[in-house]
């Protein structure tokens, strides 16, 4: 599903009995695209959003909602909708390609294996949602993306990476995962230490995990080089603050850092974020 740049705001409405959580979502968008048969990563995505002032939003009672409310409606954020790419392992296969700023996703579920969520450019907010995958499944280059109270579910794998920031210079690109949880996805057996918080797709990768609960699926080193012989770690900003759980302990990689104060949401989304149309403050 492709949403091009529009002249006005757009909201996609889902349906649920509990608008505060993804757990009861009753609307799912599903596809099976993969880079093996597509022109680029974006083209594999189940949902491709190229417009600003976008949300995915709530509809509290499926039975009472009008037929159009059960589908997708457009305004400036997305709530209570599941987006799935069912291709599985073996290729990049996106659930969401968020290719513009001023986008908000609330109580949504994003399901994939490799490259599940592409947060590519501009200010983006993901709140009280679920993101699932195994390889580089939160990734992108220039987005200033804030992830608030996200549940990150990792799939069965001998080694995996949650984030892959593609920031290549001192630009605005920034990922902050705040007050979230990391654990094995339901029904998946994941060895202790199998996952890393991130690796640098770009040489200036910038990712912070803060006030996040981590089970032992997270490796004691926390962070990983890009690849052997191509480390890309000289200029990275990989930081942590106030994380808890078995996965938050251990001797972290030398190119990462513990910080003494948390990153403020205004640092990522800008000082006027609260009044922005794409922001639903009730989820913060």
Query: Whole-model pTM?
Result: 0.92
Residue 205 contacts by C-beta under 8 Å, 6 or more apart in sequence?
164, 165, 166, 167, 198, 199, 232, 236, 237, 238
Structure tokens at 43: 């083209």
Q: Are 66 and 120 in contact (CB under 8 A)?
A: no
DSSP H helices, 36-182, are 67-70
Which of the four pLDDT bands, split at 50, 70 and 90, describes residue 16? confident
Domains of the chain: which residue ranges?
1-133, 134-269
Q: pLDDT digit string (tens) for 148-201? A: 999 999 999 999 999 999 999 989 999 999 999 999 999 999 999 999 999 999
In which element (H, E) is residue 225 found? none
Structure tokens at 221: 């080193």
The whole-chain average pLDDT of the chain stands at: 92
Which of the four pLDDT bands, split at 50, 70 and 90, describes residue 256? very high
Q: Which CATH architecture best describes the domain 1-133?
A: 3 Solenoid (2.160)
Q: Greater confidence, 8 or 66?
A: 8
Residue 112 has pLDDT above 60, yes or no: yes
Can you tell me which residue has the tokens 């993969």?
Answer: 34
Q: What percent of the chain has pLDDT over 90?
A: 84
Which of the four pLDDT bands, split at 50, 70 and 90, describes residue 59? low
Q: What pLDDT does 64 receive?
A: 38
Residues 217-232: what's their mean pLDDT? 98
222 vs 52: CA distance, rounded Å: 34
Residues 226-236: what's their mean pLDDT? 98
Residue 79 has pLDDT above 70, yes or no: no
Which of the four pLDDT bands, split at 50, 70 and 90, describes residue 15? confident
Residue 95 has pLDDT above 80, yes or no: yes
Q: Annotated active-site positions, please?
A: 115, 136
Residue 71 has pLDDT above 60, yes or no: no
Structure tokens at 66: 């009008």
Q: Are 82 and 27 in contact (CB under 8 A)?
A: yes
Residue 76 has pLDDT above 60, yes or no: no
Q: Are 120 and 140 in contact (CB under 8 A)?
A: yes
Which of the four pLDDT bands, split at 50, 70 and 90, describes residue 65? very low
128 vs 17: CA distance, rounded Å: 15
Can you tell me which residue has the tokens 């509290």?
Answer: 60
Q: pLDDT digit string (tens) for 265-284? A: 999 999 999 999 999 999 99
265 vs 247: CA distance, rounded Å: 24
Query: Looking at the domain 134-269, which fold is it?
Result: Pectate Lyase C-like (2.160.20)
């Amino acid at each position: 599903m492709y949403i091009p740049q529009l002249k006005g705001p757009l909201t996609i409405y889902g349906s649920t009995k509990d608008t505060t959580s993804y757990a009861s979502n009753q609307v799912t968008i599903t596809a099976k695209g993969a880079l093996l048969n597509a022109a680029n990563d974006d083209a594999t995505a189940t949902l491709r959003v190229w417009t600003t002032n976008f949300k995915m939003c709530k509809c509290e009672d499926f039975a009472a909602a009008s037929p159009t409310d059960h589908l997708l409606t457009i305004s400036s954020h997305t709530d209570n909708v599941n987006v799935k790419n069912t291709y599985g392992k073996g290729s990049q296969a996106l659930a969401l390609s968020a290719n513009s700023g001023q986008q908000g996703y609330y109580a949504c579920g994003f399901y994939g294996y490799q490259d599940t969520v592409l947060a590519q450019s501009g200010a983006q907010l993901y709140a009280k949602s679920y993101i699932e995958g195994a390889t580089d499944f939160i990734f992108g280059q220039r987005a200033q993306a804030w992830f608030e109270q996200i549940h990150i579910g990792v799939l069965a794998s001998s080694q995996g990476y949650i984030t892959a920031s593609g920031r290549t210079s001192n630009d605005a690109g920034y990922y902050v995962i705040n007050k979230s949880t990391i654990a094995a996805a339901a029904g998946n057996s994941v060895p202790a230490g199998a996952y890393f918080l991130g690796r640098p797709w770009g040489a200036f990768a910038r990712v912070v995990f803060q006030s996040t609960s981590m089970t032992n699926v997270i490796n004691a080193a926390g962070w990983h080089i890009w690849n052997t012989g191509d480390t890309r770690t000289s200029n990275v900003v990989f930081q942590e603050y106030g994380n808890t759980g078995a996965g938050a302990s251990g001797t972290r990689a030398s190119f990462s850092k513990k910080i003494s104060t948390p990153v403020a949401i205004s640092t990522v989304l800008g000082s006027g974020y609260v009044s922005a149309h794409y922001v639903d403050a009730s989820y913060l």
